[in-house]
């Protein structure tokens, strides 16, 4: 992509009213635009990051046998009345009445909808287990939106659901999801704490939260400064207590962002909605359910919170919007642009996503924007180096720069990418 033709509106100043670094950088680097409080548009650069994260999630979900589908946002309230969650979630539900007089809502989540779908098609133990997932927009009328896309009224979520014949099947699928979540967050460059949690309004008796320590967040974990072990807060793990693992450090409270939550739901929804099957004895039994959520849009903010410096974002390679940026310093110089265009074509043929800053802007503006948007590798072509047959290769994360023969750049990038 050529920057001159790309919709990438960067900002020099920190936007007013933004407290989280991730919120500031999302706006300044041209990834998102706020329409109104809690509602954001994803601009081309931000949409690329979103799609890369979704690809990671899909790969790991598919690897454990989950099947993707897509459920409707519009949901009849009567489904929610069957489980009683029309009351427990009424504070955040966006409700309305359609022209036919039906009471509807914009889906804040999809347990009721998926249960209604599966009960109509699965009737025998031979059809189980079933594991389905989607990546979909959710809607919640949040009283207080915070930290940009971390807590928004409209957000993107990966939600998966398992249906089993017995508890042993549920536990197998739960462990598969548990492992897949670890891989997803690792691939996104995040070191998460996995905390046993309260199931709350979701129901069930077993659940785990996947949290990342950060400067912002609405949750908290306990962390040992000596061994770095992380845990939830309870009688055994309280602030100021000696770490039960290394028996050296005193536990410290750390703010954290919840990125994922998985639940062993049991039969709460299947019993309420009549999702039953015939077992191998011909007896009717309720399906045993699990549900598994990841805040996809929230993940973008968490990645930035853990990967930035004073100049801007430092994207991990797997979620970066582009793999390489080509920066011709003097875009008006034919020799420089000829080489930039050659790299642009060659790199793309090699399968890399490439951004070329072909704007006729000052060198300072280009360098500042390059650091702000945070592409992992930058190839800088300037008069002085090119006169010696060389270009500069920069690693955004380490700041290391290498002077490389112009003919050897692709080979060097091949090694690091």
pLDDT single digits (tens) 384-417? 999 999 999 999 999 999 999 999 999 999 998 8
Q: Does residue 201 surpass a pLDDT of 70?
A: no
Q: What is the mean pLDDT of the chain?
A: 95
Residues of the chain with CATH 3.40.50.800: 322-416
Residues of the chain with CATH 3.30.930.10: 3-223+252-309
Its pTM stands at: 0.94
How far is Cα 71 from Cα 159, in angstroms, rounded to an integer? 10
Q: Select from 382, 384, 369 the least CA-distant residue to 4.
A: 369
pLDDT at 92: 95
Q: Does residue 200 surpass a pLDDT of 80?
A: no
Q: Output the 3-class SS for 31-83.
A: CEEEEECCEEEECHHHHHHHHHHHHHHHHHHHHCCCEECCCCCEEEHHHHHHH
Q: Does residue 231 surpass a pLDDT of 90?
A: no
pLDDT at 230: 84
How far is Cα 180 from Cα 196, in angstroms, rounded to an integer? 17
SS3 229: coil
**Confidence band (pLDDT; 50, 70, 90) for 237?**
confident
pLDDT at 158: 98
How far is Cα 247 from Cα 267, in angstroms, rounded to an integer? 41
Task: Give the residue carrying structure tokens 């968490």.
Answer: 302
Task: Provide the H-helix boundaries in 121-242.
Answer: 167-187
Query: Regarding beta strands 219-223 and 276-278, do their DSSP bridges make them parallel or antiparallel, or are they unpaired?
Result: unpaired
pLDDT at 205: 80
Sign of CA dihedral 350, 3, 54, 147: positive
Task: Give the residue carrying structure tokens 């399906």.
Answer: 287
CATH value of 322-416 in 3.40.50.800, 2.60.40.180, 3.40.50.2020, 3.30.365.10: 3.40.50.800
pLDDT at 197: 83
Quickly name the fold that domain 3-223+252-309 has: BirA Bifunctional Protein; domain 2 (3.30.930)
DSSP 392: E
Q: Does residue 203 surpass a pLDDT of 70?
A: no
pLDDT at 27: 98
């Amino acid at each position: 992509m050529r920057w001159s033709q790309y919709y990438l509106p960067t900002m020099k100043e920190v936007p007013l009213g933004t407290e989280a670094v991730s919120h500031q950088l999302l706006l300044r680097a041209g990834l998102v635009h706020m329409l109104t409080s809690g509602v954001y548009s994803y601009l081309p650069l931000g949409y690329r990051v979103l799609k890369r994260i979704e690809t990671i999630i899909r790969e790991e979900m598919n690897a454990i046998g989950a099947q993707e589908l897509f459920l409707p946002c519009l949901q009849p309230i009567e489904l929610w009345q069957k489980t009683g969650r029309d009351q427990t979630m009424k504070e955040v539900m966006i409700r309305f009445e359609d022209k036919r007089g039906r009471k509807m809502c914009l889906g804040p989540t999809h347990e009721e909808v998926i249960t209604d779908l599966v009960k109509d098609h699965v009737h025998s133990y031979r059809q189980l287990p079933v594991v389905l997932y989607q990546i979909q927009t959710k809607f919640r009328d949040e009283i207080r939106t915070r930290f940009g896309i971390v807590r928004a009224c409209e957000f993107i979520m990966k939600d998966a659901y398992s249906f089993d014949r017995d508890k042993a099947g549920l536990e197998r699928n739960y462990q598969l999801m548990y492992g897949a979540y670890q891989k997803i967050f690792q691939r996104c460059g995040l070191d998460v704490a996995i905390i046993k949690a309260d199931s709350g309004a979701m129901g069930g008796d077993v659940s785990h939260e996947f949290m990342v320590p950060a400067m912002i967040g609405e949750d908290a974990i306990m962390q040992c400064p000596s061994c770095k072990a992380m845990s939830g807060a309870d009688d055994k793990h309280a602030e100021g207590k000696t770490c039960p693992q290394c028996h050296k450090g005193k536990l410290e409270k750390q703010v954290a962002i919840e990125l994922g939550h998985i639940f062993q739901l049991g039969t709460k929804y299947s019993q309420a909605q009549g999702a039953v099957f015939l077992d191998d004895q011909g007896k009717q039994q309720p399906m045993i359910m699990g549900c598994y959520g990841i805040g996809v849009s929230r993940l973008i903010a968490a990645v930035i919170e853990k990967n930035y410096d004073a100049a801007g974002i430092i994207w991990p390679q797997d979620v970066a919007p582009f793999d390489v940026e080509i920066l011709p310093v003097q875009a008006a110089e034919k020799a420089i642009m000829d080489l930039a265009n050659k790299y642009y074509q060659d790199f793309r043929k090699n399968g890399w996503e490439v951004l070329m800053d072909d704007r006729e802007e000052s060198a300072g503006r280009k360098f500042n924007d390059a650091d702000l948007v945070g592409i992992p590798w930058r190839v800088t072509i300037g008069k002085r180096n090119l006169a010696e047959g060389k270009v500069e290769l920069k690693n955004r994360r380490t700041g290391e720069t290498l002077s490389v023969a112009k003919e050897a750049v692709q080979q060097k990038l091949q090694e690091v990418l």
